[in-house]
Amino acid sequence: MSTSAEVPAIEITGLRKLYNGFAAVDGLTITVPQRCFFGFLGPNGAGKTTTIKMLMGLAQPDDGTIQVLGMPLPAKSLEIRREIGLVPDDSLLFDYLTGAEYLEFVGRLYGLPKPQAKERGIELLQLFQLSDNARKLIGEYSKGMRKRIAMAAALIHRPKLFLMDEPFEGVDAVGARLMKDILLEQVQHGATVFLTSHVLEVVERLCDEVAIINKGKIVTQGTMADLRSQSVNGASSLEDIFVNIVGAERYSDKLDWL
């Protein structure tokens, strides 16, 4: 965990983003310490992906401030991007490159010399069990393989901060276990992971801290122990706490034919 003298990995204050008059993010304030596994949760449309886009400098806030690793956005956007590894929700990859070509390309974008980018790409393909598909076009990859190659690309420049939007979606149990182990190792080595996920059991096992956003606003934040102490109706699992907080209800209507 971070020390008091260390700048946060992410510091967001009063962040607001409007789309056609609708507040997708509405007064968001979050502090994420360095060397932390941080879960950013919420129902569909709560503002999670919009927040990550603003952290990457891909969307401009209408109000509020963002600092990443002590650097302000947008003034230091280029420097910040060099320190971030991104696994986007929709896996924005180049379908007409092979896995090996893509990793080398990303490494070169981050300023690695060509031999080093190629060598790291080969090592990452082995690490993510993609060596047999190194010469296959990414357009032919399964969804789980695309997530793994996206995560490999996020690692190639050894970033200090990972922004991960649903990194385990579509990944089988073996691949998910591998990815979780690699991320935990990165945190142990000093990196910070900021992730969104609908797989709440994974978040509960991995994350040091959790924030829940609903309708663009943070409704609670803290460790699992904090969330349990604040919970109602004796909720102890993250799923039950989440459902209680966002106001979801179990279905009660029955269909005669179902």
pLDDT in tens, 86-136: 988 666 789 999 999 999 999 999 999 999 999 999 999 999 999 999 999
- Is the pLDDT at 244 greater than 80, yes or no? yes
In a domain? residue 122: no
The total number of structural domains in the chain stands at: 1
User: Average of pLDDT values for 196-217?
Assistant: 91
- Is the pLDDT at 249 greater than 70, yes or no? no
In a domain? residue 15: yes
Q: At 13, which CATH number?
A: 3.40.50.300
Residues 39 and 209: their CA atoms lie apart, in Å, by: 6
In a domain? residue 114: no
Range of the structural domain that residue 229 is part of: 1-83+163-171+194-246
Residues 201 and 41: their CA atoms lie apart, in Å, by: 12
- Is the pLDDT at 201 greater than 70, yes or no? yes
In a domain? residue 223: yes
Q: Does residue 141 contact residue 133 with C-beta atoms inside 8 Å? A: yes
In a domain? residue 139: no
Residue indicated by tokens 């990194």: 167
In a domain? residue 142: no
pLDDT in tens, 130-168: 999 999 999 999 999 999 999 999 999 999 999 998 898
- Is the pLDDT at 1 greater than 70, yes or no? no
Give the pTM: 0.89
In a domain? residue 67: yes
Residues 139 and 116: their CA atoms lie apart, in Å, by: 25
Q: Does residue 246 contact residue 212 with C-beta atoms inside 8 Å? A: yes
In a domain? residue 56: yes
